[in-house]
Amino acid sequence: MDIKADLLVVGGGMAGLVAGMVGAEAGLKVVVLRKGQGATAISSGAVDIMSYLPGANVPFANAIEGLNAVSEIYPLHPYSVLGYSDGGLPVDPERVVARVSEAVDWIKGKLNGSPSALVGDLGRTIQAVTLLGSSKPTSLVQGTMFVEGSDDWHDSIVLFVGFRGFPDCNSSITAKNFLASRLPGENRPRRVANCTLDVLPFGQPHNIYSFDIARYMDREEGFAELAKTLKDHVRSTGADFIAFPPVLGLRRARANKFELEDKMGAKVFELLAFPPSVPGLRLQNALESALSTDGGRLLIGHEAVSFEKKEGHIDSVAVKTPQRTFNIIPAAVVLASGKFIGGGIKGDESGFVETLVKLPVVDVESYQTAGARPQRYTNILALSPEGHSLFGVGVAFDSMFRPTGTDGQPVADNVFAAGSILSRYNYSAEKSGLGVALATGYAAGANAADYVKGALP
Ligand X SMILES: Cc1cc2nc3c(=O)[nH]c(=O)nc-3n(C[C@H](O)[C@H](O)[C@H](O)COP(=O)(O)OP(=O)(O)OC[C@H]3O[C@@H](n4cnc5c(N)ncnc54)[C@H](O)[C@@H]3O)c2cc1C
Q: Name the site residues for ligand X (rule: CB under 6 A).
A: 10-16, 33-40, 42-44, 46-48, 275, 303-304, 336-338, 341-344, 356, 419-420, 427, 433-435, 437
Measured CA to CA, the distance from residue 99 to residue 210 in angstroms comes to: 36
Chain-centroid distance, C-alpha 448: 22
Tell me how far, at minimum, the Cβ of 85 lies from ligand X, in Å.
26
Nearer Cβ to ligand X, position 153 or 401? 401
Measured CA to CA, the distance from residue 69 to residue 65 in angstroms comes to: 6
CB pairs under 8 A, 24+ apart, for 106-110?
A: 106/442, 107/18, 107/47, 107/438, 107/442, 108/140, 110/21, 110/287, 110/290
Measured CA to CA, the distance from residue 81 to residue 67 in angstroms comes to: 12
Strands 351-354 and 345-348: antiparallel
Nearer Cβ to ligand X, position 5 or 230? 5
Cα four-point dihedral sign 59, 60, 66, 72:
negative
Tell me how far, at minimum, the Cβ of 263 lies from ligand X, in Å.
30
Measured CA to CA, the distance from residue 436 to residue 414 in angstroms comes to: 21
Tell me how far, at minimum, the Cβ of 198 lies from ligand X, in Å.
30
Tell me how far, at minimum, the Cβ of 266 lies from ligand X, in Å.
26
Nearer Cβ to ligand X, position 136 or 233? 136
**Phi and psi (nearest 5°) for 35?**
-75, -30
CA distances from 452 to 10, 23, 442 (A): 17, 10, 16
Helix or strand or coil: residue 395? strand
**Phi and psi (nearest 5°) for 48?**
-80, 135
Nearer Cβ to ligand X, position 66 or 419? 419
Nearer Cβ to ligand X, position 15 or 359? 15
Tell me how far, at minimum, the Cβ of 368 lies from ligand X, in Å.
22
Nearer Cβ to ligand X, position 153 or 442? 442
Alpha helix ranges (H) inside 204-323: 210-217, 220-237, 253-264, 278-293
Cβ-contact 395, 422 below 8 angstroms: yes
Tell me how far, at minimum, the Cβ of 78 lies from ligand X, in Å.
11
Nearer Cβ to ligand X, position 35 or 282? 35
Tell me how far, at minimum, the Cβ of 37 lies from ligand X, in Å.
6
- Per-residue burial over 170-207, b = 16 or more CB atoms within 10 Å of its CB, e = otherwise: bbeebbebbeeebeeeeebbebbbbbbbebbbeeeeee
Helix or strand or coil: residue 368? strand
Tell me how far, at minimum, the Cβ of 455 lies from ligand X, in Å.
25
Nearer Cβ to ligand X, position 14 or 64? 14
Tell me how far, at minimum, the Cβ of 114 lies from ligand X, in Å.
17
Nearer Cβ to ligand X, position 19 or 250? 19
